[in-house]
Structure 1
Amino acid sequence: MLVKLNPVFGKELRIFERSIKISVVIFIYNIILALVAFAIFYDMLHTSRFTGSVEYKSIIQIYIIMAYIQFGMLILIIPGLTAGAISGERERQTLDILLSTQLKPWQIIMGKLQSSLLVVLLLATTSLPIVSIVFVFGGIKIVDLLILILLLVVEAVFIGTIGLFFSSLFKKTTSATVLTYTTLLFIFVGTYLFVQGVYSFEQTKNTAIVDSVTDIKGAIYVLLINPIITFAGLISKQAGGSSEIMSICNQFGNYDNNLVVKYWIGISMVIQLALSTVFVVIAQAKINPLRECKLFKKGKRNT
């Protein structure tokens, strides 16, 4: 049985096919990856001429840098695509046409989200030949690469639904884009500053107490919604170094035996997907014309 393609997603696919922008983005993205990879690769081979061996650290470094470039491109591209998804339809006066079809509001939202995820998958897939350089010398398993792609998709969903939320909330794409990037800046930087602020406050309170250990306890869990922390934790784990998440958390107390910190990556992904679901529900409710009619009728009855 064939799965029916979302009509909105199908329309976005046709736009991608006719537009040269996505091809340019993919080209630039892979050029950057290739230049970085071959620069490290050349330096590694040059060093091996004198040492007589290939350093494992240099191979892992290629993987780490390419992973962070992929994540950085995701942060830059996805909000720009989703923040104008619904507001752009309003500006072109085509949203009412979409809503007048048999499509349900949630299908419109999911179609827009799928199109943004397609970009992530395209970037991840087209970069495989470059990333495969790492597998020539070993050190990184294919499973690690698949987990990395899975995390990138989850983060793309989370970031994308934030953009769709603001896009459905505001009529102007500019307003939606600004608020999307502002919210992401708070999630990336603000959550860490919040935890740092709580730690400083607790430290001030415990100054008068002799031999006291400052511990912010559950406040650290705010960082579970921070994609950068989760991503850094996965990369440090795959690189075989010390746990980046444990290092960050232990700055604010002793979390060596904390189960949440131990399974941070999985828990973080589940929480971010749950928040994404909430954003989708609110976004589809915001563009639902039947919802407005019901509210209007209730207003009439009250008067």
Structure 2
Amino acid sequence: MRWNPVFRREMTVGSRSIRMMAILFVFNSILAAVALFNMYSVAEQVRTTAEIQYSQFLDLYTFVSSIEFIMLLFIMPALTASSISGERERQTLELMLTTTMEPRDMVLGKLASSLVTMLVLAVSALPVQALVFVYGGVTLQDIGMLFLCHGVVAILTGSIGIFYSSVLRRSTVSTVCSYVTVVALTAGTMAVNLFAYRMALRAADSYASNLNASEMASSGILRYLFLFNPAVSFYNVINGQAGSGDMRKWFEPLFGVFPDNAITAHWTACSLILQCMLAMVLIAAAVWAITPGKWNRHGKNKGNDNR
């Protein structure tokens, strides 16, 4: 089995970096401090009231999972947005492309190295998450589903960063565009649906009572934009494990009536599949963008430049 040369190089350099060790130390120190404080508060409550609030352990699980999600959402684009453009700025991209290495190997190697970095952080948080097993409430299947959700989020946000890194010349510009896209997928889809719901409420008020209007109005087909929203996917997973399990209680007051159909019945599966498909499209576009002879950074065919 031949290892991806870019992946092997990135792993060798990253394993020797003190930055990774510092990130692991700070990240796990914060989680451990929160876990100890949570256990201490439970013990103090037992001494005072002789009651144990088991929901506090689920709150700890939710907190740790949310921290990991936020980390993936905002750190992955930063790791990948400068991967290809950084090579271009160091004037090593063209040199790498003249070797026998395929552009696909370069893109996948850069992305895989960033994914492994995030995987190390996620695995290092397992001992804190496992505290909830002491009193139950979360199963190994729940942990597996959470890891699957985090994995899809990491692949999607990482592919966004590496796409802009391949298309744009400067790392600063690609980083900004990556974060703008992530914000558009999360907060942007919510803003669009909220605006559409408010407009639907105004239209319904013109021919129905206020009570009936709130029951009839919705954001319409725009609600399916949430399928591409990683924050909604994560909320749906974590709410099913440590919450009510019904996302409508949160959706309908903000975005109107949510219909019963095959998509809403299998919302998590549909959203994760669509997000993986979007990531695959972005990765393919990144490979195409750095392939010699197809498209250079000025939007011209390289064959025309050699004339």
TM-score range normalised by the length of the shorter chain:
over 0.9
Give me the whole-angstrom Cα distance separating, in 1, the residues matched to 2:69 and 2:266: 21
* Aligned-residue offset at 1:13: 0.4
Give me the whole-angstrom Cα distance separating, in 2, the residues matched to 1:256 and 1:158: 27
Q: Identify which of 246, 252, 257 aligns with 2:255.
A: 252
- Residues 158-237 of structure 1 correspond to what in structure 2 (within 5 A)? 158-210=156-208, 211-212=212-213, 213-237=216-240
What corresponds to 1:24 in structure 2? 22
* Aligned-residue offset at 1:63: 0.3
Q: Identify which of 276, 280, 298 aligns with 1:277.
A: 280
* Aligned-residue offset at 1:7: 1.0
What corresponds to 1:82 in structure 2? 80
Listed one character per residue, the Cα deviations across residues 186-213 of structure 1 (whole Å, up to 9, x for unaligned) are 1111110001111122222222112452
* Aligned-residue offset at 1:41: 1.4
* Aligned-residue offset at 1:16: 0.9
Give me the whole-angstrom Cα distance separating, in 2, the residues matched to 1:9 and 1:299: 32
Report whether the alignment pairs 1:265 with 2:251: no
On the 8 A contact 1:37/1:66 being kept in 2, the answer is no
Relative to structure 1, the CA distance from residue 49 to residue 88 in structure 2 (aligned partners, 3 Å threshold; closer, same or farther) is same
Give me the whole-angstrom Cα distance separating, in 2, the residues matched to 1:110 and 1:250: 42
* Aligned-residue offset at 1:106: 1.4
- Helix, strand or coil for the counterpart of 1:139? coil
Stretch moving more, 70-79 or 243-252: 243-252
What corresponds to 2:107 in structure 1? 109
* Aligned-residue offset at 1:5: 1.8
What corresponds to 2:301 in structure 1? 295
Unaligned runs of at least 5 residues, structure 2: none
Report whether the alignment pairs 1:100 with 2:98: yes
So what's the TM-score if we normalise by structure 2?
0.91
- Helix, strand or coil for the counterpart of 2:293? helix
On the 8 A contact 1:83/1:166 being kept in 2, the answer is yes
So what's the TM-score if we normalise by structure 1?
0.93
Listed one character per residue, the Cα deviations across residues 172-231 of structure 1 (whole Å, up to 9, x for unaligned) are 111111111111111111110001111122222222112452133321001111111110
Stretch moving more, 41-50 or 61-70: 41-50
| Aligned length in residues | 299
On the 8 A contact 1:157/1:273 being kept in 2, the answer is yes
On the 8 A contact 2:194/2:219 being kept in 1, the answer is no
Relative to structure 1, the CA distance from residue 255 to residue 297 in structure 2 (aligned partners, 3 Å threshold; closer, same or farther) is same
Give me the whole-angstrom Cα distance separating, in 1, the residues matched to 2:65 and 2:272: 18
What corresponds to 2:2 in structure 1? 4
* Aligned-residue offset at 1:162: 0.4
What corresponds to 1:58 in structure 2? 56
* Aligned-residue offset at 1:253: 2.9
On the 8 A contact 1:250/1:256 being kept in 2, the answer is no
Q: Identify which of 143, 153, 167 aligns with 1:145.
A: 143
Unaligned runs of at least 5 residues, structure 1: none
Amino acid in the other structure paired with 1:68? S
Listed one character per residue, the Cα deviations across residues 218-250 of structure 1 (whole Å, up to 9, x for unaligned) are 210011111111101111100142423552146
- Helix, strand or coil for the counterpart of 1:132? helix
- Helix, strand or coil for the counterpart of 2:205? coil
Give me the whole-angstrom Cα distance separating, in 2, the residues matched to 1:116 and 1:93: 21
- Helix, strand or coil for the counterpart of 1:131? helix
On the 8 A contact 1:246/1:255 being kept in 2, the answer is no
Relative to structure 1, the CA distance from residue 299 to residue 98 in structure 2 (aligned partners, 3 Å threshold; closer, same or farther) is closer
Moved over 4 A (4+): 296-301
What corresponds to 2:130 in structure 1? 132
On the 8 A contact 2:218/2:258 being kept in 1, the answer is no
Amino acid in the other structure paired with 1:183? T
Stretch moving more, 206-215 or 81-90: 206-215
